[in-house]
Amino acid sequence: MGTTWRVLYAARHSPDGVRTQVEARLAELVAALSHWEADSALCRFNRSAGEWVTLPRDLARVVDAGLHLAKLSGGAFDPAIGALVDLWGFGPPGPMPDPDDAVVEAARTRSGWQRLDWDRDARRLRQPGGLQLDLSGIAKGYAADELADLLAGTGIAHCLVEVGGELVGRGIRPDGEPWWVDLEPPTGSLAPAPLRIALHGLGVATSGTYVRGAHSIDPRTGHAPGNGVVSVSVVAKSAMAADALATAIAVAWPDLSMLQPLKPAARIVTHTAEILTTPLQAMLDG
C-alpha cells in the first residue's frame, strides 16, 4: 500500500513466528486491496468491464463497508473514485497537470458508488466499465484491525498496531496503562496541544492536508473540498470505521448532518478553528 506498519505487543511468552505471520497477512492484504500493485484483486476488478466479479474475502469486506458509508454520507465517502484520484495526480500514475472542468466531469461520470451493483451474499461486484475502485481512504484502517485480530488468534490480547498512521489498541501495556496515543496538532494550526487518547479496544485514524499536502477530493464535485479542513481525527470501535469516517468528514465539513446518526467522535482542525464533536468531548470528559 506504499506505507509503513508497526506492531507493539505485550505477552508473557511470545509465540513463534509472530513477525512472519504478520508479514504474510500484510502480503495477503496488499494482494487484495492495493491499487498500486497491478496484479491485486482490486486492480484486476478495475480492468474488468461489464461483468460480475467474485471478490476475495478481504476486498469484499472493505467494499461492503465502503458502499455502506457512501450511502450514509451522501457520497462524501466514495470507494469508486479511482479515475478522479489518478486524474488529480494522487494515484499510481503519479503527478499530473491540473485538469480542466470538462476532463474532471468526464472522469466523474465514469465514477461513483451508485454505478456499482453489489451482491453481498455471493461477494460479487459488477463492474459497469471504466469505473476504478480506490480504497486508500479505508484500507489501511482495515489492515490495522486485521493485524490485531491475527495477534489475538495467536494468544496475544495486548497490542498496539499501526498501518500508515491508522491505529488500533487492544488490552493494556505491560505497566498496566492503556495504549496511549497522542494526536499531534498540525504545525501552525490553531489546535493548542496534542490530544491524548487511550486506545482500549478502539481505533483512531486521521485524514488531512498537513503531511502530504492537499489530496482530498470531493466525489460529489470531482474537485478539492475547499472547506478549509486541515485535519480530521476520528476515534471509533475499529480502525476501519475511523479511517473511512475521517475521510468522509474531511470532505463533508461543515455539513455533517448525514453522518450524525453514526455519532462520530472527531476532532476537526480548520485554518481558523479546532472543533471537538460532542461524542469525542464526552469521551475525553469521561
Give the model confidence (pLDDT) of 163-175 as tens digits: 999 999 999 999 9
Domain boundaries, the chain: 173-285
Q: Tell me what pLDDT residue 50 has.
A: 84
Say which amino acid occupies 19: R
Which of the two residues, 157 and 188, has the higher pLDDT score? 157
| Residue in the structure block whose three cell numbers are 450511502 | 71
Residue 134 annotated as lining a ligand binding site: no
> Cβ neighbours of residue 162 under 8 Å, at least 6 residues apart?
5, 6, 7, 144
Looking at the chain, the whole-number percentage of residues with pLDDT higher than 70 is 96
Structure confidence at residue 190 as a pLDDT band (50, 70, 90):
low
Residue 137 annotated as lining a ligand binding site: yes
Superfamily grouping for domain 173-285 = ApbE-like domains (3.10.520.10)
Structure confidence at residue 214 as a pLDDT band (50, 70, 90):
low
Residue 64 annotated as lining a ligand binding site: no
C-alpha cell at 178: 492503556
In this structure, are residues 61 and 186 in contact, taking their beta carbons and an 8 Å threshold? no
Is residue 213's pLDDT more than 60? no
C-alpha cell at 266: 472527531
Looking at the chain, the whole-number percentage of residues with pLDDT higher than 90 is 84
